[in-house]
Amino acid sequence: MEKQLTQGGQVMKMKEEDFEYLKNKIEEFLQKHEFDLEKLKEDYREAGFSMKRLRWDLFHYARVRPGHSIGTPTEWNVYDYINNNHIDTALRKITNTK
């Protein structure tokens, strides 16, 4: 049986292997550039930016490229079964933000 991921008591629709891919990409980006996630959160708050902005900035800066197996295939074809709302839920879990 496939392990179910949860965020805030809700079952996440993202598959575990796709979650791990996303988590690894974000962590690799943070390590490569020597960013401290907690410091980034503080900086974003002080600048008046939302945590959603932080999550999606990290997503794009980490060069995560979601795709769909039909039309726009990538190495991460999550649009076959989820949308950006589900990706944001996973980003919330990774960054521990609301």
Note the pLDDT of residue 1: 40
- Residue extents of the structural domains in the chain: 6-95
- How many Å apart are CA 89 and CA 14, to the nearest integer? 9
Note the pLDDT of residue 8: 66
- How many Å apart are CA 85 and CA 76, to the nearest integer? 16
CA angle 45, 49, 52 (to 5 degrees): 105
- Identify the segments of the chain with pLDDT beneath 70: 1-10
DSSP state of 64: -
Q: What is the pTM of this model?
A: 0.88
DSSP state of 78: G
